[in-house]
Structure 1
Amino acid sequence: MEYLALPPGLLTTSMAARACGVKPATIRDWVRRGILTRCGGSPKRPYFRVADVTEAMLAAKPCRPGQRGATAA
């Protein structure tokens, strides 16, 4: 269930995922890892600032050898 009236400039988890081209689980993982912070909502239905979502999407994600997308150094 989505919010009926979300304040301007805020995104739900599913909206943020669509904006970044990732799955909602990735957004939740970014929150768990500290890459993205919630700005309100409830624990089960958080929302995020558009600027924070954009910053998290552009942030360099740490990767380990053997992971997809990791480059050999």
Structure 2
Amino acid sequence: MEYLTPPRGTLTTSLAALAAGVQPATIRDWVRRGILTRCGGTPKRPVYRIEDVEAALRAAKPSRPGQRAVKAA
């Protein structure tokens, strides 16, 4: 069951993606890469701290050879 409202100070995967301006798949990829950690929820419905999502958005992402560089705003 999806949270109607997640616990205070946390975001679901969909809300975290919306807040960061990325796709939900990107949030899941950040978790897989260790850039973002879950703070609770269930395995199918994780939640993330707002501060952790903001930090992950600012974190330097690992790059692959030949990957296009992203210009900082």
Q: Which TM-score tier does this pair reach, normalised by the shorter chain? A: 0.7 to 0.9
Could you state the TM-score of these two structures normalised by the residue count of structure 1? 0.87
Task: Report the structure number with the largest CA radius of gyration.
Answer: 1
Unaligned runs of 5+ in 1: none
| Structure 1 partner of 2:55 | 55
Over the matched positions of the two proteins, sequence identity in percent amounts to 70
| Structure 1 partner of 2:67 | 67
Could you state the TM-score of these two structures normalised by the residue count of structure 2? 0.87
| Structure 1 partner of 2:18 | 18
| Structure 1 partner of 2:39 | 39
1:21-67 CA distances to partner (integer Å, 9 max, x unpaired)? 11000000000010000000011100000000000000000112211
Show structure 1 runs of 4+ deviating over 6 A.
Answer: none
- Give the direction of change, closer, same or farther, for the CA distance of 1:6–1:70 in structure 2 (3 Å limit): closer
How large is the RMSD of aligned CA atoms in angstroms? 1.7
Distance 1:70 1:9 in 2: 29
Unaligned runs of 5+ in 2: none
